């Protein structure tokens, strides 16, 4: 079926990825609320969904749905940037079903099979890779991820090679290839605990504070070009500066994870200095987004996409920049490491930097894949409400976790001479904050349901569909 609003019909492949991403996102939030309740009702759903399994499913779903989102974004953006059809839309569809089947099978394995048995059945004895946070996937799943990523990168790279090369597509490719290469460290699991933690951070940190930032910058630049009409040269210059600062600060900023794992003491200085620089690219991203919106040369009918894009820059700066800086210096991190302060930073950073940017590209691309330049205003109002409800719900959660973290440090880690509370006794003192966190989580879920409902809302009685205008800036940008 020909979709008139798409410049290249192969872009429609992205729709599958976006739908899967949103379904998995919903699952992640449901398990997140389950976890929040288990903090205050310890035996909730036990033994069917114990805390450690719920947490594993929650974090793994986060990673998988964001990967689906990144892949969908690449399949949508690259044909338009390269001014050519995707190298193989069929290959993209095959890889989608392989990735989805592997992801669902892995989640079901977590829920239905004891983790030790799952490790035994999936060959962990042959090459031990399981049991580490965020990298709990069985060996066949890890191999499947590598195969899917290589196929995806081949498809995207071939498309770029045969068409126009733009700064956006090249930065996106750099981020995606870096993401795939860093994941290879998940196969390295040495018996030396120091080396093990070091390689683990190569995956976790250099994903979220390295390669993923490049992907985020390219997605944000693409949405802003399309919705503001600002010249590509201007946006490219901003993107180059942001990417340069992100790489300079992010790579050596890995050092803030090396403070207390057995590596040399100079990492306290290296990690502290470069981690303190990490908020800069996020601040630049905020300036970039507001500057582009102020300089816009058109009023794009998809105002919801503009809101998601600007929200990405602002909340990413708060979550990854400000909340990260709060506890990044070693003399602070000595007390806060692994506390609820870390959880507050992690939640706000992931939401601002990666959840919102994926929702921004979905908000921009989905109407086009459904044959219109933008959703009806009534549906966009639902979207914009969902942004505010989710963001306020996240703020409630982050403030609750921050309060819990400060009290946790005060009771459990600051006192000396044996007067500090035990971990469990401290947890009993944090119950109020945990209930507030649950309230914020439920509010976030309401926002997500509002967002999903916007896909099924048509125009008001006195409103016309926003159809594509042949030859409009949307087609020329």
* Better-predicted residue by pLDDT, 168 or 463: 168
Contacts of 416 (CB under 8 A, 6+ apart): none
pLDDT tens-place string over residues 406-436 = 999 999 999 887 889 999 999 999 999 999 9
CA distance 410 to 97: 49
Q: Residue 104: which H helix or E strand, with range?
A: helix 89-112
Q: Is the pLDDT of residue 382 over 70?
A: yes
Other Cβ atoms closer than 10 A to 295: 13
State the burial class of residue 262 (Cβ atoms within 10 Å of its Cβ: 0-12, 13-18, 19+): exposed
Contacts of 257 (CB under 8 A, 6+ apart): 197, 201, 205, 271
State the burial class of residue 108 (Cβ atoms within 10 Å of its Cβ: 0-12, 13-18, 19+): exposed
Share of the chain above pLDDT 90, in %: 86
CA distance 237 to 216: 16
Other Cβ atoms closer than 10 A to 418: 5
The pLDDT of residue 227 is 92
The pLDDT of residue 208 is 87
Q: What's the pLDDT band for 464 if we cut at 50, 70, 90?
A: low
pLDDT tens-place string over residues 125-150 = 999 999 898 999 999 999 999 999 99
Does the bond joining 237 to the residue before it have cis omega, within 30 degrees of 0? no
pLDDT tens-place string over residues 214-264 = 999 999 999 999 999 888 999 999 999 999 999 989 999 999 999 999 999
Whole-structure pTM value:
0.94
Q: Is the pLDDT of residue 465 over 80?
A: no
The pLDDT of residue 474 is 45
> Which has the closest alpha carbon to 207: 147, 264, 257, 272?
257
CA distance 63 to 72: 14
pLDDT tens-place string over residues 18-40 = 999 999 999 999 999 999 999 99
Q: In the numeric block, which tokens belong to residue 333?
A: 């991190």
Q: Is the pLDDT of residue 467 over 60?
A: no
DSSP secondary structure letters along 377-414: HHHHHHHHHHHHHHHHHHHHHHHHHHHHHHHHIIIIIS
> Which has the closest alpha carbon to 277: 217, 208, 350, 328?
328
CA distance 424 to 427: 5
The alpha carbon dihedral of 259, 261, 267, 270 has a sign of negative
Q: Is the pLDDT of residue 462 over 90?
A: no
CA dihedral 391, 393, 394, 400 (to 10 degrees): 140
CA distances from 433 to 29, 31, 102, 442 (A): 19, 19, 37, 14
- DSSP 8-state secondary structure symbol assigned to residue 421: P
Q: Give buried/exposed letters for 436-452 (b at 16+ CB in 10 A, else e).
A: bbbebbbbbbebbebbe
The pLDDT of residue 475 is 45
State the burial class of residue 377 (Cβ atoms within 10 Å of its Cβ: 0-12, 13-18, 19+): middle
The pLDDT of residue 332 is 95
State the burial class of residue 461 (Cβ atoms within 10 Å of its Cβ: 0-12, 13-18, 19+): exposed
pLDDT tens-place string over residues 271-323 = 999 999 999 999 999 999 999 898 888 788 999 999 999 999 999 999 999 99
The pLDDT of residue 463 is 74
Q: Is the pLDDT of residue 476 over 50?
A: no
The pLDDT of residue 1 is 74
Q: Is the pLDDT of residue 209 over 90?
A: no
């Amino acid at each position: 079926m020909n979709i008139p609003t798409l410049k290249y019909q192969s872009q429609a492949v992205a729709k599958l990825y976006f739908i899967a991403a949103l379904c998995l996102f919903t699952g992640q939030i449901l398990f997140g609320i389950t976890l929040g309740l288990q903090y205050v009702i310890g035996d909730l759903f036990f033994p069917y969904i114990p805390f450690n399994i719920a947490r594993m499913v929650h974090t793994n779903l986060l990673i998988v749905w964001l990967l689906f989102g990144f892949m969908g974004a690449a399949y949508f953006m690259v044909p338009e940037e390269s001014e050519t059809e995707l190298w193989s839309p069929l290959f993209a569809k095959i890889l989608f079903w392989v990735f989805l089947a592997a992801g669902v099978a892995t989640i079901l394995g977590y829920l239905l099979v004891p983790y030790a048995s799952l490790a035994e059945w999936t060959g962990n004895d042959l090459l031990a890779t399981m049991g580490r946070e965020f990298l709990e996937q069985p060996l066949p799943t890890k191999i499947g991820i590598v195969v899917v990523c290589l196929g995806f990168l081949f498809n995207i790279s071939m498309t770029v090679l045969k068409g126009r090369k733009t700064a956006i597509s090249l930065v996106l490719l750099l981020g995606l290839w870096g993401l795939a290469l860093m994941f290879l460290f998940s196969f390295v699991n040495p018996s030396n605990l120091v080396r093990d933690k070091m390689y683990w951070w190569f995956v976790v940190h250099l994903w979220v504070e390295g390669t993923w930032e490049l992907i985020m910058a390219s997605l944000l630049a693409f949405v802003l070009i399309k919705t503001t009409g600002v010249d590509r040269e201007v946006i490219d210059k901003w993107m180059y500066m942001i990417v340069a600062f992100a790489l300079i600060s992010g790579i050596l900023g890995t050092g803030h994870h090396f403070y207390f794992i057995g590596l040399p003491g100079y990492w306290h200085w290296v990690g502290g200095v470069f981690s303190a620089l990490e908020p800069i690219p996020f601040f630049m991203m905020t300036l970039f987004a507001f500057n582009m919106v102020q300089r816009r040369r058109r009023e794009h009918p998809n105002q919801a996409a503009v809101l998601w894009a600007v929200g990405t820059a602002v909340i990413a700066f708060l979550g990854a920049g400000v909340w990260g800086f709060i506890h990044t210096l070693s003399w602070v991190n000595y007390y806060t490491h692994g506390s609820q302060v870390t959880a507050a930073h992690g939640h706000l950073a992931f939401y601002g930097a990666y959840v919102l940017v994926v929702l921004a590209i979905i908000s921009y691309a989905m109407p086009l894949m459904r044959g219109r330049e933008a959703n009806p205003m009534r549906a966009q109002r639902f979207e914009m409400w969902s942004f505010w409800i989710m963001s306020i719900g996240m703020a409630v959660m982050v403030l609750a976790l921050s309060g819990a973290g400060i009290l946790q440090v005060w009771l459990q880690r600051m006192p000396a001479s044996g007067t500090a509370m035990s971990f469990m006794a401290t947890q009993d003192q944090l119950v109020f904050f945990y209930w507030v966190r649950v309230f914020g989580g439920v509010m976030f879920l309401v926002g997500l349901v509002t967002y999903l409902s916007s896909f099924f809302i048509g125009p008001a009685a006195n409103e016309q569909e926003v159809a594509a205008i042949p030859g409009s800036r949307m087609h020329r940008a």
